[in-house]
A and B are shown apart, each in its own frame.
Chain A
């Protein structure tokens, strides 16, 4: 029992730390997503982002394949971090419940 409780507490500590790390990483990623508009066979790009609760568009013009790839990469990383943050939060909920249940059963 002691092993399990100790492991759960350590896991919870790890999960809190990871939650903080993913939130920080997400806040540090460049904001916005790229939208492409094709006009007369030319691709023009806009950066769409939120500021002060409003959705804004920033005209970026024609971008090189490299620049577009960079934005795609950031989009993938953001999606990945959000997914992992959600996993970490699930772990936190589970661990809190498990430790709470252990406390109740120990006091019975």
Chain B
């Protein structure tokens, strides 16, 4: 865990030095680590076992710096791999970085090229819910953008209904409940309610209540 975390921070520091950290929103299970800086006065203590670092690029066209991410991370041992659908990952034995963008219109079946960074990204539904509810957290000398914990928890419940593998459904729900419970214990239930109201019915939000 320690090594994973050190590599994660090293990657984020390199992004910051290259001037691109603010172009990303960190989503996925690593948010739980940084939420410790949000739930300061509570007993929020997540178990983080993930190697996946999911980075959402809310506005790819607004990335102003041109940075070859593989060159930036090559010395740390990161390699490029592609999955069966052509989506690129930057891989290290302790960390796997994937890039995501907001799905627009009917959606894209092919990877979306992010020319400024020399990578491609997968367009996903519902993650605009995360990018519309972003907070900044300070950790290890960095300012990291993450979804508000309420948005994170509700989003996890939404996507858990769409998972096929049972272990993934259980994992998503477990993480969602951990975060939502901590918000309730912190007296922030109103934020959960307000954000829940903003979820379109067509997204199947009734399933969040299961």
Residue numbers of A with Cβ under 8 A of B are 2-7, 11, 14-15, 17-18, 21-22, 25, 76-77, 80-81, 83-84, 87-88, 91
Q: Is B195 engaged at the interface, CB distance under 8 Å to the other chain?
A: no
Contact of B167 among A7, A14, A84 (CB under 8 A): A7
Q: Which of B159-210 contact A (CB under 8 A)?
A: 165-168, 170-171, 174
Interface size class of B (residues with CB under 8 A): 20 to 34
Q: Is B51 engaged at the interface, CB distance under 8 Å to the other chain?
A: yes
Contact of A11 among B51, B80, B166 (CB under 8 A): B51
The prevalent SS among residues of A at the interface is helix
Residue of B74, B91, B93, B167 most packed against chain A (CB within 10 A): B93
The answer to whether B174 touches A3, judged by C-beta atoms less than 8 angstroms apart, is yes
The answer to whether A6 touches B92, judged by C-beta atoms less than 8 angstroms apart, is no
The answer to whether A17 touches B81, judged by C-beta atoms less than 8 angstroms apart, is yes
Nearest chain A residue, comparing its CB with the CB of B76 = A80
23 residue pairs from A and B, CB less than 8 Å apart = A3-B167, A3-B170, A3-B171, A7-B49, A7-B167, A7-B171, A11-B51, A14-B91, A17-B91, A18-B91, A21-B79, A21-B81, A22-B79, A76-B75, A77-B74, A77-B75, A80-B75, A80-B77, A81-B77, A84-B77, A84-B92, A84-B93, A88-B93
The answer to whether A91 touches B93, judged by C-beta atoms less than 8 angstroms apart, is yes
The complex places the Cα of A76 from the Cα of B170 at a distance, in Å, of 42
Nearest chain B residue, comparing its CB with the CB of A22 = B79
The complex places the Cα of A85 from the Cα of B66 at a distance, in Å, of 30
List B contacts of A2 (CB < 8 A): 166-167, 170
Q: Which of B29-50 contact A (CB under 8 A)?
A: 49
* Min distance, Cβ B105 to any Cβ of chain A, angstroms: 31
List A contacts of B55 (CB < 8 A): none
The complex places the Cα of A18 from the Cα of B87 at a distance, in Å, of 15
* Min distance, Cβ B86 to any Cβ of chain A, angstroms: 14
The answer to whether A6 touches B91, judged by C-beta atoms less than 8 angstroms apart, is no
* Min distance, Cβ B165 to any Cβ of chain A, angstroms: 6
Q: Is B96 engaged at the interface, CB distance under 8 Å to the other chain?
A: yes
The complex places the Cα of A17 from the Cα of B165 at a distance, in Å, of 20
The complex places the Cα of A2 from the Cα of B165 at a distance, in Å, of 10
Nearest chain A residue, comparing its CB with the CB of B83 = A17
* Min distance, Cβ A69 to any Cβ of chain B, angstroms: 13
* Min distance, Cβ A89 to any Cβ of chain B, angstroms: 10
List B contacts of A76 (CB < 8 A): 75
Nearest chain B residue, comparing its CB with the CB of A17 = B81
Nearest chain A residue, comparing its CB with the CB of B96 = A14
Residue of B75, B76, B77, B80 most packed against chain A (CB within 10 A): B77
Taking A3-B174, A4-B167, A15-B93 as given, write out 8 further A-B residue pairs in contact, using a Cβ cutoff of 8 Å, ordered by the A residue number.
Answer: A14-B51, A14-B96, A21-B91, A77-B75, A80-B76, A83-B77, A87-B93, A88-B93
